[in-house]
Amino acid sequence: MHENQKAMGTVRASRSEAKADREDDGTVPVALENSIYNLQSYQFDLPPDLIAQYPMEPRDHSRLLVLDRQTGLIKNHVFSDIIDYLEAGDTLVLNDTRVIPARLYGCKDSGARVELLLLNQRGKQWEALVRPAKRLKPGSRVRFDGNGVEVEITAELNLAGGRLIEFRNCVDEMSFIEQTGQMPLPPYINRPAEKADKQSYQTIYAREKGSAAAPTAGLHFSQELLQRIQDKGVNLGYILLHVGLGTFRPVSSEDIRQHQMHYEYYRVDEETAALLNQTRQKGKKIIAVGTTVVRTLETVYNTKHGFTAGEGQTNKFIYPGYEIKAVDRLLTNFHLPGSSLIMLVAALAGYDNTMVAYRHAVENKYRFFSYGDAMLVV
């Protein structure tokens, strides 16, 4: 997914064309070659040197591409210029999940090294990705140096390398993870996690521990910039979605509608729901900071009742043809070719606009992925 992909050339279909292409029973003809439901339509050519290996310092000095989804107009900015696109009474919605050092290294009885990536806590157990998966069957145990803590593989999950695991001889799992684990930098960052990543791969407003990856659109905000935004009269609203496999699992189905998102935990409290409803009633804009915010708000939004508080598990998959109703604008990073994230962006911005913006970003040497630059869809 993170290697060079061949460009797909010009746009094949718009969202309106895709809707018109539906049969009476709601299905779409089998031919996908020229369709926005074709996975290959979301590939683009990305030189490896544009994949950011380190964050920009200071955070708000990264670049910002602004895309007007009505006109297709693209403007180049510095990230701190985002304040010019926010008005008093608007609400900026942030995901305040906190990344845990979810990558653990241990050994089997044989001495063979094992890697575990914790994804999602499920009661007393965790969903995890393990390597080497073939040698970690149910009943296998992983040990860690000098502390007596073990992990037992209890079941296989229906995904490559997926296992259900349970800690043994561990009084405080989260303390053990914090002390032993490494920040789970994505595989396209071709270096080991460093001490600085414990801060830089974390939003400044991160609160509740539980994510296996950062909600990266929020990494660009500094305390000073957020204060300036509030001083302008812009509201800050917070939701929670613990980023796990649902967000970064690759799309492998050629027909993207067959892709199944993995469930992730979300929560929207009464205060945020009320704030969002007030924002709408006053005719102001809701700006989502990241795709996780979009998926969460679309999960709790109802056209009749507006936003409602709630928590649970969501596997919301948003792609062109889906009408986004809960947000007006989206701040996001530049995503992997063929990922569910670029499909969500295309659902809001339009397929044509999105792919043109990505080509513009490549041509103008924007930095890509988690530690890269940002795009604002207005």
Whether pLDDT at 143 is above 80: yes
Q: Is residue 3 part of a domain?
A: no
User: If pLDDT is split at 50, 70 and 90, which confidence band does 273 have?
Assistant: very high
How confident is the model at residue 30, as a pLDDT? 55
Domain boundary among 130, 148, 180: 180
pLDDT tens string 93-139: 999 999 999 999 999 888 899 999 999 888 899 999 999 988 899 99
257 and 363 co-located in one domain: yes
- The burial class, CB within 10 Å (0-12 / 13-18 / 19+), for 341 is buried
* 83 DSSP 8-state letter: G
User: If pLDDT is split at 50, 70 and 90, which confidence band does 67 have?
Assistant: very high
111 and 240 co-located in one domain: no
224 and 292 co-located in one domain: yes
| Averaged pLDDT, 174-191 | 93
Number of domains in the chain: 2
Percent of the chain with pLDDT over 70: 91
Question: What is the gyration radius of the CA atoms in the chain, in angstroms?
Answer: 21
How confident is the model at residue 159, as a pLDDT? 81
301 and 152 co-located in one domain: no
173 and 210 co-located in one domain: no
151 and 208 co-located in one domain: no
How confident is the model at residue 12, as a pLDDT? 29
How confident is the model at residue 195, as a pLDDT? 92
47 and 71 co-located in one domain: yes
Q: Is residue 213 part of a domain?
A: yes
122 and 88 co-located in one domain: no
Total Cβ atoms within 10 A of residue 342: 24
54 and 89 co-located in one domain: yes
- DSSP states along 128-177: EEEESGGG--TT-EEE-TTT--EEEEEEE-SSTTEEEEEEES-S-HHHHH
Q: Is residue 2 part of a domain?
A: no
How confident is the model at residue 329, as a pLDDT? 98
Domain boundary among 121, 153, 180: 180
Which CATH number is 71's domain given?
3.40.1780.10
Domain boundary among 125, 153, 180: 180
86 and 132 co-located in one domain: no
Backbone angles phi and psi of 82, in degrees to 5: -55, -30
Which CATH number is 160's domain given?
2.40.10.240
Q: Is residue 194 part of a domain?
A: no
pLDDT tens string 238-269: 999 999 877 777 898 999 999 999 889 999 99
| Averaged pLDDT, 214-223 | 97
Record the pTM.
0.88
Give 30 or 230, the one with higher predicted confidence.
Answer: 230
pLDDT tens string 292-326: 999 999 999 999 999 999 999 999 999 999 999 99
168 and 82 co-located in one domain: no
Average pLDDT along the chain: 90
122 and 36 co-located in one domain: no
What's the gap between Cα 361 and its chain centre? Answer: 19
Q: Is residue 193 part of a domain?
A: no
Whether pLDDT at 10 is above 50: no
Whole domain around residue 118: which residue ranges?
103-180
Q: Is residue 5 part of a domain?
A: no
Query: Rounded distance, CA 237 to CA 139, Å?
Result: 44
Q: Is residue 189 part of a domain?
A: no
User: If pLDDT is split at 50, 70 and 90, which confidence band does 6 have?
Assistant: very low
pLDDT tens string 21-50: 444 444 445 567 779 999 999 999 999 999
Q: Is residue 310 part of a domain?
A: yes
